[in-house]
Amino acid sequence: MVPAVHGGAGAGPDGDRRGPAVENRRVHRRALLCGLAAAALTACGGSAPRKTGGVGTARPGDKIAAAADVPVGGGVLVDLPGDAQLLLVQPAEGQIKAFNPSCPHVGSLVNPPARGVITCPLHGSTFDAATGVVEKGPSPRGLAEVAVTRSGGDVLLA
- Is residue 60 located within the same domain as residue 133? yes
- Is residue 70 located within the same domain as residue 105? yes
Whole-number CA gyration radius for the chain: 28
Please state, in angstroms and rounded to a whole number, the distance separating the CA atoms of residues 140 and 125.
9
Looking at per-residue confidence, does 38 or 29 come out higher? 29
Query: How confident is the model over 80-132, as pLDDT tens digits?
Result: 998 889 999 999 999 999 999 999 999 999 999 999 999 999 999 999 999 99
- Domain assignment of residue 29, yes or no: yes
Please state, in angstroms and rounded to a whole number, the distance separating the CA atoms of residues 119 and 74.
12
Q: How many CB atoms lie within 10 A of CB 108?
A: 15
Q: Which domain holds residue 29?
A: 16-47
Query: How confident is the model over 34-80, as pLDDT tens digits?
Result: 555 555 544 554 433 445 667 788 899 999 999 999 999 999 999 99
